[in-house]
């Protein structure tokens, strides 16, 4: 495994592989790697000839300075893990390499960014769009791998690829969970023992919603049950709990399992603070 620090090093390293018509798979990360990231790496290695993982904590996608400050950084462990999993290259740029000066460009993803996460994290998806665009330009991958846990991010990146005609195929990998159902996240390490127990409320709520919706119970009734559960958990502060069309992220006020559109997919999405740690999760319904 070779570590690359600059754009020129990336282009030079990958040029030889392109001349041999090797396909290139990119796994963008912010480090603090866990089994969810490794799942992306495994998919990349099974699809592409060459796998490159980026590790870069992107400052412009954090609207909360405290969140950026406390974002876990485990570089030595990350690099060892990636080498053991057979990654060919790691792109490890400094901030100055990615942002020589303040970025003036602003992305507007319309409805896709103004709902769910966008309501609580202004400018977040602008930062995501900019850094992913930079990575696509620098690496020029054939495939790029993202986790389903970040459902809204996936929708926005797919739109980015479509609107800007990036020649890359976005591959979405299912959410990887702990044995008790908690979605794997780099932020989970910040949870204390009691907070870790309380965090199970997210996955339990998603499962409750899925089961009851498919039984024909109204979305309004399901949502009220979930809100009641969060009201009873002092460590949890629910930000949103919404039923959406998976691809468009359009919020739904009703769900009838007998009248489903087979051309569409549906998911329940949520975000909650557990103590001071903000977690997101989602679950496909149909």
Active site residues: 37
Q: Is 232 annotated as a binding residue?
A: no
Q: Is 121 annotated as a binding residue?
A: no
Alpha-carbon span 155 to 269, nearest angstrom = 13
Instruction: Check: CB of residue 264 under 8 Å from CB of residue 284.
Output: no
Q: Is 270 annotated as a binding residue?
A: no
Which residues, in sequence order, are bridge partners of residue 267? 244, 284
Q: Is 185 annotated as a binding residue?
A: yes
Q: Cα torsion at 180, 83, 11, 61 (round to 10°)?
A: 30
Residue 187 region by backbone torsions, left for phi larger than 0, else alpha for psi between -120 and 50, else beta = alpha
N residues, the chain? 286
Q: Is 55 annotated as a binding residue?
A: no
Q: Is 31 annotated as a binding residue?
A: yes
Of residues 177, 189, 181, 112, the one with CA closest to residue 148 = 177
Q: Is 187 annotated as a binding residue?
A: yes
Q: Is 183 annotated as a binding residue?
A: no
Which residues, in sequence order, are bridge partners of residue 251? 244
Q: Is 186 annotated as a binding residue?
A: yes
Q: Is 231 annotated as a binding residue?
A: no
Q: What angle do CA 123, 150, 183 make, to 5 degrees?
A: 130
Q: Is 150 annotated as a binding residue?
A: yes
Query: What SS3 state is found at 100?
Result: coil
Q: Is 5 annotated as a binding residue?
A: no
Write down the residue that tokens 């060892």 correspond to: 80
Q: Is 32 annotated as a binding residue?
A: yes
Alpha-carbon span 244 to 232, nearest angstrom = 25
Three-state SS string across 195-232, please?
HHHHCHHHHHHHHHHHHHHHCCCCHHHHHHHHHHHHHC
Q: What residue numbers does the annotated binding site for beta-alanine cover?
A: 61
Q: What residue numbers does the annotated binding site for (R)-pantoate cover?
A: 61, 153
Q: What residue numbers does the annotated binding site for ATP cover?
A: 30-37, 147-150, 176, 184-187
Q: What residue numbers does the annotated binding site cover?
A: 30-37, 61, 147-150, 153, 176, 184-187
């Amino acid at each position: 495994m070779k570590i690359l620090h600059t754009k020129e090093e990336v282009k030079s390293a990958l040029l030889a592989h392109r001349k041999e018509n090797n396909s290139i798979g990119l796994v963008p990360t912010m480090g603090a790697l866990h089994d969810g990231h490794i799942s992306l790496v495994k998919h990349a290695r099974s699809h592409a000839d060459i796998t490159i993982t980026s590790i870069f904590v992107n400052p412009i996608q954090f609207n909360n300075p405290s969140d950026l400050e406390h974002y876990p950084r485990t570089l030595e462990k990350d690099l060892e893990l990636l080498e053991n999993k057979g990654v060919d290259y790691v792109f490890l740029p400094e901030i100055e390499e990615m942002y020589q000066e303040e970025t003036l460009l602003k992305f507007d993803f319309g409805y896709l960014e103004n709902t769910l996460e966008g309501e609580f994290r202004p400018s977040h998806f602008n930062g995501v769009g900019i850094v992913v665009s930079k990575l696509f330009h620098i690496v020029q991958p054939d495939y790029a791998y993202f986790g389903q846990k970040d459902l809204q991010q996936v929708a926005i990146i797919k739109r980015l690829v479509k609107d800007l005609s990036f020649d890359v195929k976005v591959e979405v990998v299912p959410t990887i969970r702990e044995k008790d159902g908690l979605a794997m996240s780099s932020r989970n390490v910040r949870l204390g023992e009691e907070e870790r127990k309380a965090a199970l409320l997210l996955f339990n709520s998603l499962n409750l919603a899925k089961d009851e919706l498919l039984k024909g119970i109204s979305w309004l009734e399901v949502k009220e049950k979930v809100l009641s559960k969060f009201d009873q958990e002092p460590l949890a502060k629910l930000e949103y709990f919404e039923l959406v069309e998976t691809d468009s992220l359009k919020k739904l006020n009703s769900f009838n399992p007998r009248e489903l559109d087979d051309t569409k997919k549906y998911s329940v999405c949520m975000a909650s603070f557990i103590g001071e740690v903000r977690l997101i999760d989602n679950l496909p319904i149909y």
